[in-house]
Chain A
């Protein structure tokens, strides 16, 4: 079992729709959770962090965390073609020093 699992996609949504990206993790003691966006040929860019159960909203992005289910999600509202990228879920192991990335979900937003 991988430590951080994501559906590789591609996930295709029409412009203006809500894109829902999901991630599960295996280490119940994990403490910090992140979503990074990576455009093709570029390096990852941090878009959201979440540390406690519930929702956290930042503009069109909402991160959701459920520690009991070991599940993290990212919702992108009013999706734009510029949101087309690979979204990486990252989880920091207990101890706080090692951050593990999932393989990423490719998102395509159709104009």
Chain B
């Protein structure tokens, strides 16, 4: 049973560029949440998708957007990248409560 799959694992982008991160949830899970984790910090909630709709959003600017597809997979898009966007981006899937996390995408903005 495959767990949560994220791609790519690592990414280097230049300030001002745009990036798309991808996530396939664990089989049977219908909800996808995205988190940003800076070094030495806990994960920060970006947003949650359920039934292809953004159900809840954290304190992130509109540069952060997402999408969920009919097969429950999800994308996180970040526009106009800033140096401060450098972090580990975690995708977490769930059915009821309690997350299963993917291995994350390490984004470096230079």
A: which residues have CB within 8 A of B? 4, 32, 34, 36, 42-46, 49, 88, 92, 95-104
Contact = CB atoms under 8 A, between A and B. Distances in A.
B72 interface: no
Interface of B: 33, 35, 40-45, 48, 50, 55-56, 58, 90, 97-104
A92 B48 contact: no
28 contacts: A32-B97, A34-B98, A34-B99, A36-B99, A43-B102, A45-B101, A46-B98, A46-B99, A46-B100, A49-B98, A88-B42, A88-B43, A92-B97, A97-B50, A97-B56, A98-B56, A98-B58, A99-B33, A99-B45, A99-B99, A100-B45, A101-B35, A101-B43, A101-B44, A102-B42, A103-B41, A103-B42, A104-B41
A100 B98 CA distance: 12
Nearest to A2: B42
